[in-house]
Chain A
Amino acid sequence: MRYDLFITGFGGQGVLLAGNLLSYAAIIEGKNVSFLPAYGVEKRGGAAMCTVVIADGEVGSPVIGRPSTCVYLNQTSLDRYGAKVKDGGVAIINSSLVDDSGWSRDDLDVIRIPMNRIAMDLGDARMVNMVAAGAYAAKSGSVALESLEQALKSVLPERNHRFIPANMQAIRAGAGAVQG
């Protein structure tokens, strides 16, 4: 199987971290993956974005013109990159910050999740990206939630392992929001 994902939001929402975490989880599962952050002038103006491709075989292009799934964490992202999702693809929207009522894409599977609210309810608004990662993992089936937990353990220094339970709660909440 082959999955491609585009995540976008503003700097500080942990867009790159979410992409990294999903990638690392895929590596733990023995899959191939490419993680391509936005670079260059696109990085300016506070926008953050990355493209992740997960594949059982060769990754092929790390650059995707029309990704099958896009995750929009803020309004500007949707306004700017709303047309990017592949026809018939999936859009996962942070409905706490994004109003998509004026958006005319009826070919998509649109999933609206109030990520900021969920993250705040769990105690830290900064976990929006974890909610998003959980939602994508559950929706796509690309990586297991256990792999995300394993990824957190592998990449976080020991002294920060105390944050893992809260982050996993956020990941599960994101996953739950997709299924619910």
Chain B
Amino acid sequence: MSQRLFVKGNEAVAMAAIEAGCRYYFGYPITPQSDIPEYLSRELPKLNGEFIQAESEVGAINMLLGASATGVRAMTSSSSPGISLKQEGISYMAGSELPGVIVNISRSGPGLGGIDASQADYWQSVKGGGHGGYHIIVLAPASVQEMYDLTMLAFDLADIYRTPVMVLADSVVGQMKEALVPNPRPETTLPEKDWVVRGRKEGTEQKIVKSLFLGDGELEAHNWKLHGKYDVMREKECRQELFMTEDAQLIVTAFGSVARIAKTAILTAREAGMKVGLLRPITLFPFPTQAYRDVTGQCKKILDIELNNGQMVEDVRLSVARDAEVHFYGRPPGAGSLPVPEELFEQIKKYY
């Protein structure tokens, strides 16, 4: 067995980025993700990498855009209000088909809100947070190990699909420390980056990284191409965790930190003889629709739990259609509203 370290979630993200070959980080301080830039500001210079504390989140995402256009692996991280500022750049990156990893250790809103854990950025993340009708891949880790593994995966998916990829977590997963096995970067065959700008050598084609398409039919074709990629992602990249769903009469569905909290409530329910399981989407986009269809073959009750007033539940309802009842329990994020397992067990009893 590899060495098990005891690491904070945010640091696991930074460690994974380095292992994934990311040597360029651009960020701006914001709670509760500052461990990530702090770690990388210390480590990247030792690896001949670049760490820039940008003038703003807007500056940072555009530095990521520029670095990525040259073909290197690069990353930025922030928290909700900062991610709002990055949406402009994310839309441009999606339009320009630029890979890049964006980490959102989200906090409560709207506005300045608070710094407590939140899942209220679900819509913003999966429905295209900026203008123009695009998607980015969104990964939702629920443990320190997943913070590491999914950050590593994010870089590969970004390169494979030429798309921004977001790692969406919150301060529970970001500030928590757990055992971590720092897995080495897996061997993956990645497409050649033949589109990058590096200076046009004589006899080679001019490379242009852009999202402006003014010619008749050009932009429509470009959007069909992007949406074709989203279909491939839906087909090939859905990931989820199924926990005790085989015989379940009620399936709880939740992502990230809330799924962790729900798991303990489910174990309590099992101890009480109740057949309860968990379906945890790991990819929020693409949303694991098929997994919901599969489990609702036999289970007719779904309880969706979120740390917000109900966002993912819309995708759950679309996935389940009329095959099962979908109930929702959630609380808006803020100091003191993080649910505890005992509270979720009460909800399980209510809908079981």
A51-64 Cβ-contact flags toward B at 8 Å (1 or 0): 00000001111111
Among A33, A37, A39, A64, the residue within 8 A (CB) of B178 is A33
Tell yes or no: B176 within 8 A of A by CB.
Answer: yes
Asked whether, in the complex, the Cβ of B175 is within 8 Å of the Cβ of A37, the reply is yes
Asked whether, in the complex, the Cβ of B263 is within 8 Å of the Cβ of A27, the reply is no
Known: A24-B6, A65-B342. A36 touches B176 (CB 8 A): yes
The distance in angstroms between the C-alpha atoms of A40 and B172, with both chains bound, is 11
Asked whether, in the complex, the Cβ of B115 is within 8 Å of the Cβ of A64, the reply is no
Among A24, A41, A66, the residue within 8 A (CB) of B342 is A66
Residues of A within 8 A of B267 (CB): 60
Tell yes or no: A23 within 8 A of B by CB.
Answer: yes
Tell yes or no: A35 within 8 A of B by CB.
Answer: yes
The distance in angstroms between the C-alpha atoms of A7 and B104, with both chains bound, is 29
The distance in angstroms between the C-alpha atoms of A90 and B171, with both chains bound, is 28
Asked whether, in the complex, the Cβ of B176 is within 8 Å of the Cβ of A40, the reply is no
Asked whether, in the complex, the Cβ of A27 is within 8 Å of the Cβ of B179, the reply is yes
Tell yes or no: A32 within 8 A of B by CB.
Answer: yes
Q: Give how many B residues have a beta carbon under 8 Å from the other chain's beta carbons.
A: 28
Tell yes or no: A42 within 8 A of B by CB.
Answer: yes
* Cβ distance A63 to chain B, nearest Cβ, rounded Å: 5
Tell yes or no: B335 within 8 A of A by CB.
Answer: yes
Tell yes or no: B177 within 8 A of A by CB.
Answer: yes
Residues of B within 8 A of A74 (CB): none
Residues of B within 8 A of A33 (CB): 6, 178-179
Among A32, A36, A63, A64, the residue within 8 A (CB) of B179 is A32
Tell yes or no: B299 within 8 A of A by CB.
Answer: no
Residues of B within 8 A of A32 (CB): 178-179
Asked whether, in the complex, the Cβ of B177 is within 8 Å of the Cβ of A65, the reply is no
Known: A33-B179, A35-B178, A62-B176. A40 touches B115 (CB 8 A): yes
Tell yes or no: A69 within 8 A of B by CB.
Answer: no
The distance in angstroms between the C-alpha atoms of A161 and B175, with both chains bound, is 27
Q: Which of B306-350 contact A (CB under 8 A)?
A: 335, 338-343
Interface CB pairs A-B, < 8 A, 13: A27-B179, A34-B176, A34-B177, A40-B171, A41-B116, A60-B263, A61-B261, A61-B262, A61-B264, A62-B176, A62-B257, A63-B257, A64-B340
Question: A-side interface residues toward B, CB under 8 Å?
Answer: 20, 23-24, 27, 32-37, 39-42, 58-66
